[in-house]
Chain A
Amino acid sequence: MTESPNLVAFTPERLETVKEIIARYPEGRQKSALLPVLHVAQEQWGWLSSEVMDYVAGILKIEPVEVYEVATFYTMYHLDPVGKHVIEYCRTGPCCLMGGEDVYGHLKQKLGIEAGGTTADGKFTLKEVECLAACGWGPVFQIREQFYMNLTNEKVDQIIEDLSK
């Protein structure tokens, strides 16, 4: 949560990015910008509150419900506040073959939370996700744009310690 969602406006730089995104599509097709603009919004606020979604609807000149129905369909959008680092852990078959379930158990123990939970200090939120298209390098989790691959208990300890600093 980098900023309060009550002050809903993109930063000037992000507003420029959003305008550039909208300009990619043919005239009258600005709704195509919805998914990318929601990613930009989530980058700024960490999650998508209804105020943020209404604000995005206004920018794209579409109805708020058109934003809600998309934000609730796609799993990457967070509809509740999240911690500083959202760990998206792959739970699908090929990662499990590589020991993904054991490493996941270790990670949950280390953080002291279950899937969907956030640590008391607000640093980590844990989410289970489906296949991240990195099966040959499993077990895998993702934090924002970064992939963490070939995970072991030791690697998990190191990553969590580094990010806790």
Chain B
Amino acid sequence: MARKILTEHINVPGIETFDVYRKQGGYTAVEKAIKTMTPEEVVEEAKKSGVRGRGGAGFPMGMKWGFLAKPEGVPRYLVCNADESEPGTFKDHHLMKCIPHLLIEGMIISSFALGANKSFIYVRGELMYVIRILEKAIAEAKAQGFLGKNILGSGYDLELVVQPGGGAYICGEETALLESLEGKRGNPRNKPPFPAVKGLYQSPTVVNNVESISNMPWIINNGGDAYATIGIGRSTGTKLISASGHIQKPGVYEIELGVSVDEFLNSDEYCGGVRKGHYLKALVAGGSSVPILPANLITKTAAGEDRLMTYESLSDGGFATGTMLGSGGFIVFDETACIVRNTWNFSRFYHHESCGQCSPCREGTGWMEKVLHRIEHGHGSMHDIDLLVDISKKIEGNTICPLGDAAAWPVASAIRHFRDEFVWHITHPQEATQPGAVYMGEMVLG
């Protein structure tokens, strides 16, 4: 069995309560950090661990902490990004619901490291029941002296605030999240200045994902070096993977980074394989935004090597033959899935969720949705395929935030790897629009 950092105790009955969490060794990392370490030493452990942003960007967390400006007399903020909305991703939902104190403990340690006295957990508004679980856990921790004034007699004060969102994917982008937290529309900000210099209320701010922060208790208890021994190369530690789609056992799994895609997909410890009687057609490895890959490129790289669940191996081959680890939203498609329909579905999502600030994204996502809709519904022309590629190129890289890229990649990759299927929809509109109709011809490689 693989090592578990985040989910070792997740099935212990009552783990959502302070007492049970404490009995399992909870809050010892807060004691260690606050009583025996300086904030700089905590930051140093985060750097040594090599833990990378688990929301999707994969930027080293310790390095991000190192960028935080520290002007005299100006408050600093830590904001946890719990706006989990990337299609295919539900790990933070699971973690917060099942073991809320892990995030609270991570928030205390991280806030101490950054010198923040008021920190926020911004949770997507649909998860109001999870917000109530977190608020209860915070009240328990406060009653035990782990939050509030003068934590454990150290002189360090911290208040934790749980903030609900209002239903907007874009607020997972960190500057849109900060706007939203200030009570505004979730329009991403131009950068620079980066949040590390001017973030919440124009003060230096760090925004980190739930899973990233939840690694901190283990890192403090065991050391950043020990964390860095798990995984392969620059993909250190463990990762929560949200597995969905046509598999035997959908759910949230904690893997050691470096397990092979084949093992993750097919072993009984994880997904248990594609559902019985069916076979793998395609896979989205890191949430809806990352390129979709056909079966022949997902368990092996184009060079024929085993594809591993790491940042590097999944992106091997670039976008021509690779993809990204992203948020770890692992969506499996068997032969009954229609790629055109799914691509239209994802395009509708990005069109719906575009904030409307940048015209390439506001207009382009709408055009892509419309063109895909007409192909899927039997009204496409051959010119539409090139038109989609053209629109995707005009969005990519031309927007304030990465939502534009995230909207462009699924379309461009679906056409790159499944062009035949788009062509078939256009040349065979009557067959293609039958309920459940799926193209079963040869897949195009590369």
A residues bordering B, Cβ < 8 Å?
A: 24-26, 29, 31-36, 38-39, 60, 62, 66, 69-70, 73-77, 88, 91-94, 96-98, 129-138, 142, 144-147
A133 touches B244 (CB 8 A): no
Q: How far, in Å, is B126 (CB) from chain A's closest CB? A: 6
Q: Within the assembled complex, what's the spacing in Å between the Cα atoms of A145 and B132?
A: 10
B185 touches A135 (CB 8 A): no
B153 CB contacts on chain A under 8 angstroms: none
A70 touches B245 (CB 8 A): no
Q: Within the assembled complex, what's the spacing in Å between the Cα atoms of A62 and B125?
A: 22
- Would you call the interface of chain B mostly helix, strand, loop, or mixed? mixed
A97 touches B244 (CB 8 A): yes
A129 CB contacts on chain B under 8 angstroms: 126, 167
Q: Does B277 contact A (CB under 8 A)?
A: no
Q: Within the assembled complex, what's the spacing in Å between the Cα atoms of A97 and B252?
A: 17
Q: How far, in Å, is A77 (CB) from chain B's closest CB? A: 6
Interface residues of B in 148-184 (CB under 8 A from A): 159, 161, 163-169, 180-184
Partner-contacting stretch, out of B88-96, B190-198, B305-313, B375-383:
B88-96
B residues bordering A, Cβ < 8 Å?
A: 75, 84-90, 92-93, 118, 124-129, 132, 159, 161, 163-169, 180-186, 201, 242-246, 250-252, 288, 329, 331, 333, 337, 341-342, 345-346, 348-349, 352-353, 355
Q: Which of B166, B251, B348, B352 has the most CB of A within 10 A?
A: B166
A146 CB contacts on chain B under 8 angstroms: 129
Nearest 8 interchain pairs by C-beta: A74-B166, A76-B167, A34-B183, A31-B183, A136-B250, A135-B244, A75-B167, A73-B185
Q: Which residue of A lies closest to B350 (CB)?
A: A130
Q: Within the assembled complex, what's the spacing in Å between the Cα atoms of A143 and B292?
A: 32
Q: Which of B129, B169, B245 has the most CB of A within 10 A?
A: B245
Assuming the A-B contacts A74-B166, A135-B87, A135-B244, are A69 and B128 also in contact, with contact meaning beta carbons closer than 8 angstroms in the complex? no
A38 touches B87 (CB 8 A): no
Q: Which residue of A lies closest to B87 (CB)?
A: A131
Q: How far, in Å, is A82 (CB) from chain B's closest CB? A: 14
Q: How far, in Å, is B416 (CB) from chain A's closest CB? A: 18
**Candidates B129, B341, B342; contact of A145 at CB < 8 Å:** B129
B355 CB contacts on chain A under 8 angstroms: 73
A74 touches B165 (CB 8 A): yes
**Candidates A25, A39, A75, A94; contact of B245 at CB < 8 Å:** A94
A133 CB contacts on chain B under 8 angstroms: 84-85, 89-90, 92-93, 124, 126-127
Q: Within the assembled complex, what's the spacing in Å between the Cα atoms of A8 and B342?
A: 45
Assuming the A-B contacts A74-B165, A94-B88, A135-B87, are A35 and B244 also in contact, with contact meaning beta carbons closer than 8 angstroms in the complex? no
B127 CB contacts on chain A under 8 angstroms: 133
A34 CB contacts on chain B under 8 angstroms: 183
Assuming the A-B contacts A31-B182, A130-B349, are A136 and B167 also in contact, with contact meaning beta carbons closer than 8 angstroms in the complex? no
A38 CB contacts on chain B under 8 angstroms: 166
A94 CB contacts on chain B under 8 angstroms: 87-88, 244-245, 331
**Candidates A60, A70, A144; contact of B166 at CB < 8 Å:** A70
